[in-house]
Amino acid sequence: MQRHVLTRDGATFRTEDSDFLTSVDPDFHPTDVMEDADGSLLIVDTGAWFIHGCPISRVAKPEIKGSIYRIRKVGAPAVHDPRGEGLRLAEMKPAELVRHFEDARPAVRDRVQELLVEAGEPAVEGLVREREKSASHEARGAAVWALFRIGTPDAEQGVRDALTDANFRVRVAAARAAGMARDREAVDALIKMVEKDSQPAARRQAATALGQIGDTRAVPALTSAAARAIDRFNEHSVTYALIELKTPAPLIKALGNSNPKIRQSALIALDQMDHSPLTAEQITPALSDRNKGLRTAALWVASHHPDWSGSVLSFLESRLRSPEFPAGEAEPLREVLLSFCSSADIQKLVGNLLGDAAGGAKRAVPPGHDRPLRAEGIPDALDGAHCGLLDHSAPAVRLRAMNLVRALQITGLDGQLERIAVDQLSPGELRTTALAILVRRRPGIDDMVLKFLLGRLSATTMQRRAWRRRCWEALT
């Protein structure tokens, strides 16, 4: 069992993770954990029942019955009547129940909330007063959720009023409730939140609510809010809300905004809308923008449109041949190349880069490229380029070329691969990869190769999973 301590971080949370309960007993199978009314934890160990239900189980152990463990903090005070049975809550009127909203016992607070929701409209006045007057933000937040669940006009107004609560946690609860209720009367207050609230979490939830409600009046505010998005969670909430609102005209205009974050959000939202009006001409300027985030977004969008290959070809060539090619752009550029791989012009460009001994090969064959191209056959330009790359002076380039040969299942290069495989001066990674390619077509290895592969399965090499896997592929 693990413990995850949540700490607010920007618009979301981060966790501090640690093991809470461990056991070396192979028959210990904890499958659930819950909090009891007194604050202690109950952990369910299903024992052999779990084994019987496990699809990988092979041995039944009916004698292992399982257990339920109770865990208490050392020195924790005893809790009297943890469920509040002595209060007779079910007999109280709503005005009396509200007074117990701040009870120290969680089970009592939960029961009070359920009874107030069941009471409906008669409970609204007391809940509104609790939200306005309570010193506890937890009690005020609980009142918001009770009002949301009651859902009458007066209750909805109580939720709207909470959008200006002094504590941002209550504002977050109110924004979420208003969004789930599709409350159009809350739009003006939510727009103010997404534009001016000092807390990132509140701005994120307000943006989400505006998207759920679907009122297009929010589009300008959401577009501007992209400039204040401090993390990916804020960015996502704003962009997704714009997608939900399906209003392309203001976003096309925003593509000319001076703020790159606004342009980035507008670009992604336009691309993800149904029947998107986005054109290749509109995306081309973003491909070469100075802002990395905008460039990466534009490459991502371009990868969804293989028919735009003509418009992005010149950019790709200039970027791939640039001496200042940023390593961080290898992945998005690779996605674009994969998307456009059926284009003859792109195939020619890649072939030329693969044959460029000045360094283009390193950029055309990014590290970790082991996904096969979805193309009918391998163009002669790429096949010939790979032939030359297998003799490249840089081992890293040769290794990447072999990974592509393996992924694309290029044939006709066995002679070069054999020379690499038996060359005792070649790095072990190269020899192992060459053998993994060869044995797929010609199973069987000689004693010298077998000795080499077994030597690669040393304690040091075993720590490297990729090379261990390739050794086993060659051996089997």
User: How confident is the prediction for the chain on average, in pLDDT?
Assistant: 82
CB 385 within 8 A of CB 391: no
| pLDDT tens for each residue of 362-401 | 444 444 444 444 444 445 444 545 555 676 667 777 777 7
**CB count in 10 Å sphere of residue 117:** 18
Q: Burial letters for 5-25: b for 16+ Cβ neighbours within 10 Å, e otherwise?
A: eeeeebbeeeeeeeeeeeeee
Instruction: List the structure tokens of 136.
Output: 């506890």
pLDDT beyond 90 at 53: no
In this predicted structure, what is the pLDDT of residue 15? Answer: 95
CB 187 within 8 A of CB 215: yes
> Residue ranges per domain, the chain?
2-71
Across 130-142, average pLDDT: 95
DSSP 400: H
| pLDDT tens for each residue of 146-199 | 999 999 999 999 999 999 999 999 999 999 999 999 999 999 999 999 999 999
CB 41 within 8 A of CB 35: yes
Query: Range with the lowest mean pLDDT among 14-23, 117-126, 220-229, 463-472?
Result: 463-472
Instruction: List the structure tokens of 84.
Output: 């509040």
Residue type, 291: N
| pLDDT tens for each residue of 444-465 | 667 777 777 777 776 444 455 5
Kind and range of the H or E element at 190? helix 187-196
CB 136 within 8 A of CB 102: yes
pLDDT beyond 70 at 326: no
CB 407 within 8 A of CB 441: no
CB 360 within 8 A of CB 354: yes
In this predicted structure, what is the pLDDT of residue 373? Answer: 45
| pLDDT tens for each residue of 77-90 | 889 999 999 999 99
More confident residue, 341 or 177: 177
In this predicted structure, what is the pLDDT of residue 369? Answer: 44
Q: Roughly how many angstroms between the first and final C-alpha of the chain, as a whole number?
A: 38
In this predicted structure, what is the pLDDT of residue 349? Answer: 66
In this predicted structure, what is the pLDDT of residue 29? Answer: 84
Collect all residues with Cβ–Cβ distance below 8 Å to 58 and sequence separation of at least 6: none
Collect all residues with Cβ–Cβ distance below 8 Å to 250 and sequence separation of at least 6: 219, 220, 223
| pLDDT tens for each residue of 264-302 | 999 999 999 998 899 988 988 888 788 888 988 988 888
In this predicted structure, what is the pLDDT of residue 400? Answer: 73
More confident residue, 422 or 267: 267
Which residue's structure tokens are 């030359």?
388
More confident residue, 48 or 205: 205
More confident residue, 35 or 383: 35
pLDDT beyond 70 at 127: yes
